């Protein structure tokens, strides 16, 4: 009789991590790398490597290397702590498109927060009581 799937060594989809670390202490780098590994463990992903960008220039050897491995067979995607790890907003958006164009998914540990200024997650919503009066355009 064969063993159950849960008792076999089955690997999950292959992903690669990406970190942008400019002037970051070693302890912070270790914590971010550990968060990538923990995210992959919880979501049954196989973290095959982590590319680290340490520069501030637009051209990045780490990102180029990441794009190179994304064309390998059976690569599912890229894991990053947040969108900011791909770079400033305009660069991050372009890099996200390039990851998707390579046929991979971009998985973010922290989702982007809503940009709507009137939405606050911590404060309760206050509603006005009473009626709203609409003034005539001529008054």
Q: What is the residue-wise DSSP string for 79-110?
A: EESSGGGG-SHHHHHHHHHHHHHTT-EEEESS
**Does any domain span residue 18?**
yes
Q: Which pLDDT belongs to residue 57?
A: 67
**Does any domain span residue 117?**
no
Largest CA distance in the chain: 86
**Does any domain span residue 114?**
no
**Does any domain span residue 48?**
yes
**Does any domain span residue 93?**
yes
Can you give the CATH number for the domain in which 40 is found?
A: 3.40.50.1390
* pLDDT-derived band at 134, boundaries 50, 70, 90: very low
The DSSP letter of residue 47 is: E
Does the predicted TM-score (pTM) go above 0.95?
no
pLDDT digits (tens, 9 = 90+) for 12-41: 899 999 999 988 999 999 999 999 999 999
* pLDDT-derived band at 139, boundaries 50, 70, 90: very low
**Does any domain span residue 19?**
yes
Q: Give the structural domain span for 100.
A: 12-108
**Does any domain span residue 3?**
no
> Residue 35 phi/psi, 5° resolution?
-70, -35
**Does any domain span residue 115?**
no
How many structural domains compose the chain? 1
Q: Which pLDDT belongs to residue 131?
A: 43
Mean pLDDT of 89-105: 94
């Amino acid at each position: 009789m064969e063993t159950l799937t849960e008792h076999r060594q089955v690997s999950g989809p292959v992903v690669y991590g990406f970190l942008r670390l400019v002037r970051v202490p070693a302890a912070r780098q270790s914590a971010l790398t550990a968060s990538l590994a923990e995210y992959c463990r919880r979501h049954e992903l196989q973290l095959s490597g982590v590319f680290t960008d340490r520069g501030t220039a637009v051209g990045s050897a780490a990102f180029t290397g990441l794009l190179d491995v994304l064309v390998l067979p059976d690569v599912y995607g890229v894991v990053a702590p947040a969108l900011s790890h791909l770079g400033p907003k305009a660069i991050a958006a372009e890099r996200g498109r390039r990851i998707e164009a390579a046929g991979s998914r971009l998985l973010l540990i922290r989702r982007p927060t809503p940009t709507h200024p009137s939405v606050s997650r911590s404060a309760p919503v206050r509603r006005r009581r009473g009626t709203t009066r609409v003034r005539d355009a001529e008054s």
